[in-house]
Chains A and B, each alone.
Chain A
Amino acid sequence: MYLKSAVKYQIMDGRIAIPVFYLVMFSVMVLFSISVSGLGEGTFATISGLEMATIIFLFVVGLNAFRETFRMMMQNGISRKTMFKGYVITVLILSIGMSLINAVMLWIGKAMVATKDNVLYRSLFEQLYEMRYAGNTGGVQPVLEELMFMICLSGAAMMFGYFITTLYYRLNKAGKIAVSISVPGILIVGLPIFDAVVTGGMIYRAFWRFVAFAFGLLSGPNPYYAMVSSLLAAALFAVFSWMLVRRAVIKD
């Protein structure tokens, strides 16, 4: 009973943000289809990767998922363990739900421009893995794989956001300042300079090679690499988040 209530509360937390998000997404799609309707011969237009907005949106949902929920749960006698389990279930539900909506939106988007030969509507998945389906784009397999890919990526984004917000919640003021300055400082300034001056771009190349490997772009391309990588990342962030949540206390 407690878990069900904790899940219900955390899902209902997004009851305004999610419809607004899809309203904006749908408006973008409609605007795009209107704007390309008058395109003449020889002019090409492409819309691609709208799903990336969903990933960013879910990351932000994760970022906002802790503090207020934690206080509300504490007020209502719900343990940290139940709240956290509730969040993981919420991640699953939102990831699956929003990935399904994305699949439908992609289908609608493609249908809107179906009559135009000079307009291309592509998903993020198609951009990354189109080589895999060369000559075989009509079956169920690409649809299912794209759905699984989106679910895994969405889950990882939500858990990453949750990890960041729980980390900041647990840190004291000095810790927050230190992390806020040092992490971007190292990643945006320190590391690129070090890489350029000392290692001659080796770190940069290794990083992108790792990303390509994690997304299965070096192996086929194969989206299952990305699914496993996303699941591993989600699990890792979930473990770290739980370590932070289990001893979190109410702050005034």
Chain B
Amino acid sequence: MRGIEVRNIAKNYGEVQALKNVSVFFGENKIYGLLGRNGAGKTTLLNCITGRIFPDSGQIFVDGEPAIENDSAQGKIFMMGEKNFYPEGMKVRDAIKWTEEFYPDFDRDYCLKLAKQFGLNQNKKIKNLSTGYGSIFKLILTLSTNAPYLFFDEPVLGLDANHRDMFYKALLQKYVEKPFTAVISTHLIEEVSGVIEKVVIIKKGEIIRNQSVEELLSKGYTLSGSASAIDSFIEDKTVLGVDSLGGLKTAYVIGTIDPASLPAGMEIGRMDLQKLFIHLTNE
């Protein structure tokens, strides 16, 4: 089966268990959201898959091949991380040249087109780019590699709303033209919820959810209506949270409900991924 398979990997940093026997499968041509609170183990998991660090135990396979210290397996993955791993004095255009050297399917024309679109100065040294442009530089390289597995660790760090929108559009357009697997690790859940198909939630080094967004969101619903009607209706239900505005209230409820049983004036809606995430990852 094609995809990235992580089998029972564990990683400790001294006393801290960053990953506890994590098993997860990132299938072919799907967009995943890797969600978790700060320090949950998202970056550690991605770093283990890309061989930047070694897991203490467990195995990782890329399209059935062992991934650790395997050039051909690693050649199918490109990861943009929060940190800059390019040499101090390297310019953007040199990084493009070298990425093309290491990833033979790299699309230079597409890369230059995106660079122009985002206003990325290729003559600048990478270390001199602002946080936002540092992210843009890495995003452009990642999308241009044409590697079958792309990891985005905090891809929109420092990006303004316009650039974030441009990135999501570029990602989807690329995906439609030539599908690939994307794993997006981010804290901006609301923003990314419209892009991802599957969600992997990691909490304290353990995978607690790995399912499609649809499936996950079907576990709950939102109710909107007058505050008094909502309050009395949700009394016996598992409520993740409520938002109030004037006399109106929205409640986020776990479980299923028959819409016909709703009192008049009350509306049912789709569960919010961020609310669900907060509920699932709360202490």
Show the binding face of A for B, using Cβ within 8 Å: 1-2, 5, 8-9, 68, 71-72, 74-82, 247, 249-250, 252
Is B101 close to A, CB under 8 A? yes
Q: In angstroms, how far is the closest chain B Cβ from the Cβ of A65?
A: 12
The residue that B85 contacts in the complex, of A5, A75, A249, with Cβ under 8 A, is A75
Interface contact B101-A78, CB-CB below 8 Å: no
The residue that A77 contacts in the complex, of B53, B71, B87, with Cβ under 8 A, is B71
Q: In angstroms, how far is the closest chain A Cβ from the Cβ of B71?
A: 4
Q: Which 6 A-B pairs rank lowest in CB-CB distance, beginning with the nearest? A: A77-B74, A76-B102, A71-B85, A75-B85, A250-B52, A2-B71
Is B86 close to A, CB under 8 A? yes
Interface contact A79-B86, CB-CB below 8 Å: no
Q: What string of 1s and 0s marks CB contacts (under 8 Å) between B11-25 and chain A?
A: 000000000000000
Show the binding face of B for A, using Cβ within 8 Å: 47, 50-54, 69-72, 74-79, 83, 85-88, 98-99, 101-104
Interface contact A249-B52, CB-CB below 8 Å: yes
Bound-state Cα–Cα, A76 to B94, Å: 14
Question: Chain B CB within 10 Å — which of A75, A81, A252 has the most?
Answer: A75
List, sorted by A's number, 10 A–B pairs whose CB atoms are closer than 8 Å: A9-B101, A71-B87, A75-B85, A76-B103, A77-B77, A79-B70, A79-B71, A82-B71, A250-B52, A250-B85
Q: In angstroms, how far is the closest chain A Cβ from the Cβ of B205?
A: 18
Q: Which residues of B contact A2 (CB under 8 A)?
A: 71-72, 75, 102
Bound-state Cα–Cα, A75 to B78, Å: 7
Q: In angstroms, how far is the closest chain B Cβ from the Cβ of A252?
A: 6
Interface contact A5-B53, CB-CB below 8 Å: no
Q: Which residues of B contact A82 (CB under 8 A)?
A: 71
Q: In angstroms, how far is the closest chain A Cβ from the Cβ of B76?
A: 8
Interface contact A72-B101, CB-CB below 8 Å: no
Bound-state Cα–Cα, A77 to B88, Å: 19
Number of CB contacts from chain A to chain B under 8 A: 61
Given contacts A78-B102, A249-B53, is CB(A72)–CB(B87) below 8 Å?
yes
Q: In angstroms, how far is the closest chain B Cβ from the Cβ of A9?
A: 7
Given contacts A8-B101, A77-B77, is CB(A68)–CB(B71) below 8 Å?
no
Q: Which residues of B contact A252 (CB under 8 A)?
A: 83
Q: Which residues of A contact B69 (CB under 8 A)?
A: 79-81
Interface contact A74-B51, CB-CB below 8 Å: yes
Q: In angstroms, how far is the closest chain B Cβ from the Cβ of A92?
A: 21
Given contacts A81-B69, A249-B54, A250-B52, is CB(A72)–CB(B98) below 8 Å?
yes
Q: In angstroms, how far is the closest chain A Cβ from the Cβ of B84?
A: 9
Bound-state Cα–Cα, A9 to B94, Å: 11
Q: In angstroms, how far is the closest chain A Cβ from the Cβ of B218?
A: 37
Q: Which residues of A contact B78 (CB under 8 A)?
A: 76-77
Q: In angstroms, how far is the closest chain B Cβ from the Cβ of A36?
A: 39
Question: Chain A CB within 10 Å — which of B75, B77, B99, B103 has the most?
Answer: B75
Q: In angstroms, how far is the closest chain A Cβ from the Cβ of B17?
A: 17
Bound-state Cα–Cα, A5 to B100, Å: 10
Q: Which residues of A contact B83 (CB under 8 A)?
A: 252
The residue that A74 contacts in the complex, of B50, B88, B101, with Cβ under 8 A, is B50
Measured CB to CB, the nearest residue on chain B to A9 is B98
The residue that A75 contacts in the complex, of B53, B71, B75, B86, with Cβ under 8 A, is B86
Q: Which residues of B contact A80 (CB under 8 A)?
A: 69
Q: Which residues of A contact B98 (CB under 8 A)?
A: 9, 72, 76
Bound-state Cα–Cα, A78 to B77, Å: 11
Question: Chain A CB within 10 Å — which of B53, B77, B85, B98 has the most?
Answer: B85
Interface contact A72-B52, CB-CB below 8 Å: no
Bound-state Cα–Cα, A248 to B141, Å: 25
Measured CB to CB, the nearest residue on chain B to A68 is B87
Interface contact B85-A74, CB-CB below 8 Å: yes
Interface contact B85-A77, CB-CB below 8 Å: no
Interface contact A72-B54, CB-CB below 8 Å: no
Q: Which residues of B contact A5 (CB under 8 A)?
A: 101-102
Q: Which residues of A contact B85 (CB under 8 A)?
A: 71-72, 74-75, 250
Question: Chain B CB within 10 Å — which of A5, A8, A74, A82 has the most?
Answer: A74
Measured CB to CB, the nearest residue on chain A to B82 is A252
